[in-house]
Chains A and B, each alone.
Chain A
C-alpha cells in the first residue's frame, strides 16, 4: 500500500465525482436531496471504518461525534451568529477534542468493553443534548439553523456538500494509506505483536478514534445545515447502530466499502418506507445476510465474484 491510488479506483472516483457535479443539470430536486443525504452518510460511515476496519475496535457510540459537529455548528451559526468559515472549523475541532477525550479512556479497554464504554459516552452526549434545553433546545430539537445565504438553497448546498465530502474522503484516504494507516492495520491484525514490534498500540488506536470522530463531526456539521435543525436522536445509540450497519454492509476491509454500504442501505430504507411499515424486518434480514453470508460486505462479495470470473476465464 502506498500513497498512490490504483489507477482503476482513481478513475472510478473521478467519474463518480464528475457525475455528481453534473447531477444538478437534471433539475430533479429529489435526486439532489438524495445525493446530498447519501454523501453525508457515506462520509459518516467511512469515518467509522477508521476505527473498525483499520484499528479493529468496534465503536457503538460513533453518533456522538456526528451530533457534536451538528450541534456546535448549528449553535454557533444561529445563537452566536458566527460566520460559516469560523463555525464549521470550530464544530470539527470540538468533535475531534471530544473524540480525543473519550479515546483517552476507551483505549484502555478492548473488545466488548471498549464498545460498551463508547456506548456509555455517547449516551452521555445524548443526555446532555436532551437536558441542556436552553442551549440545545432539548428534545424539541434545535430548529431553524441560520444557514449562510450563499448556500441557502438546494443546488449551492449540494455543491458545498460535494466539495467538503470529496475533500474529506480524499484526506481520509491519504491518512489511511499512510504509514500511520499501515501501522493501524498491524494493530488490527495482531494487537500483541504490533506492541512487540514497537508500535504504541494504545496511542495508535486513540489517534484512529480521533480521526474518525473528526470526520464524523464534518458530516454532522453539514447535516445540521442541510436539515436546518439538529435533534437529540442524532446522538442516540440507534444512530450509532445504523452507521455501523452501513459500514459492515459495504465491507469493513475495504476503504470505499462503507460508502457503498451507506448508499445502498439509505436508498433501501427510503424505498422500503414507500411500500411497507416493516422496515425493521427488512433491516433485520439485511443484517442476517451480512452476518451469515457476507461477513466482508458487498465489496467482499464483489471481490469473490470477480475472482471467480477471473479464474473461469483463465481456465
Chain B
C-alpha cells in the first residue's frame, strides 16, 4: 500500500500487471461473449475449452517439442474441431429451447470434458516452458518487465482489432450482426443462418483455445483449471455487457486492474471485490457497460 504512494515504478509495474492479466482474460472472455451475442447461449463449457487449449499446448510444445507457435495454432485448431462436433451434435437441437436447458447442456459438456482431460492427460499438475524468445525480461527504461507478459499485453489488442474488423468491416460481419437482431428475417432473405452459427461458435471456441495455450506457461495445466477461469470470464462479460466486443475488452481491463490493485490495497479481499463489482453492475445496469438493454421476456 505504502509502495503505491511512494514508488511510481511500482505503480507502473502494477499497471502493466493489470493490463497483461486483463488481456489474457480478454482473449478468452471475448469468445464467450461473441458466442452469446449470436447464439444466445452462455457456454459454461468455455472454461473447459480453455483448459483443453492449455493441455494441447502442453502436448504439442512441451512433450512433442514442436514449438510455441505450433502449440497455439494446434490449440486453436483443436478447439475449432471440438466446437464443430459440439455445435452440430448437441447445441443445434436446443436453439429454440429455454435458456435453462442450454445452460444445463453446456454444464454436461463441462463434466464430460473434465473426465476426458483426466483420461488423456492424467491428474498431474503439468508445466509448460516459456518460448526461448520470450523468456526473461525486457528493459523498459525505468524498469524490467517480463517479456512474455508484454507479449500478452500486445496480442490482446491485436485480437481485439482483428475481431472488430471482422465484425464491423466485412459483409460477413454485417450479416452476423444482423443475426443478433433478427434471425428469421435473415433466413427469409436466404442467408445460411446455421452456417453463421457454426462459424461464430468455432471462432469463439478457438479463442478459448488460444487463450488457454497462451496462458499455459504462466498457468500450469491441471485438473479443475476450467472452474476458476469460467467464473472470471462471467464476471468480465457481465460487467462489460454480454455480446459486446468492446464490453469484453473494457470488462477484462477493469477486472485486471481491480484484481491487481485490490491485491495490493485490500489484500485477501480482491475476489470478494470482484463479486461486489459484478453485483453493482447487475443492479444498476444489468445489460453491462456496453450491452444493450433487452426487451422483457427474451
Contact = CB atoms under 8 A, between A and B. Distances in A.
A212 to B, nearest CB: 16
Contacts, number: 93
SS of B interface (majority): helix
A116 B115 contact: no
Interface string A276-288: 0010110111011
Interface string A119-159: 11101100100010000000000000000000000000000
Given A191-B297, A280-B114, A112 B108 contact: no
Interface string B13-39: 000000000000000000000000000
Given A131-B269, A244-B104, A290-B104, 15 more contacts: A109-B286, A112-B42, A116-B234, A116-B282, A119-B234, A124-B272, A124-B275, A127-B271, A131-B268, A192-B296, A280-B111, A280-B112, A283-B111, A287-B111, A288-B105
A108 B296 CA distance: 11
Given A109-B286, A191-B297, A281-B115, A287 B108 contact: yes
B69 interface: no
A24 interface: no
A59 B269 CA distance: 25
B178 interface: no
Contact of B107 (A113, A115, A281, A287): A287
A109 B278 CA distance: 14
Contacts of A283: 108, 111
B104 A105 contact: no
Interface string A246-264: 0010000000000000000
Given A287-B111, A291-B94, A116 B238 contact: yes
B296 A110 contact: yes
Interface in B253-298: 268-269, 271-272, 275-276, 278-279, 282-283, 286-287, 296-298
A113 B282 contact: yes
A241 interface: yes
Nearest to B276: A124
Contacts of A290: 104
Interface string B70-98: 00000000000000000000100110010
B279 A248 contact: no
B272 A292 contact: no
Contacts of A75: none
Interface of B: 42, 90, 93-94, 97, 99-101, 103-105, 107-112, 114-115, 231, 234, 238, 242, 268-269, 271-272, 275-276, 278-279, 282-283, 286-287, 296-298
Nearest to A290: B104
B247 to A, nearest CB: 14
Contacts of A124: 272, 275-276, 279
A117 B235 CA distance: 11
A183 interface: no
B111 A295 contact: no
B101 A295 contact: yes
Given A105-B283, A117-B279, A295 B238 contact: no
Of A52, A241, A245, most buried by chain B (CB within 10 Å of CB) is A241
Given A116-B238, A127-B272, A191-B297, A287 B105 contact: yes
B271 A117 contact: no
Given A127-B275, A283-B111, A290-B104, A110 B282 contact: no
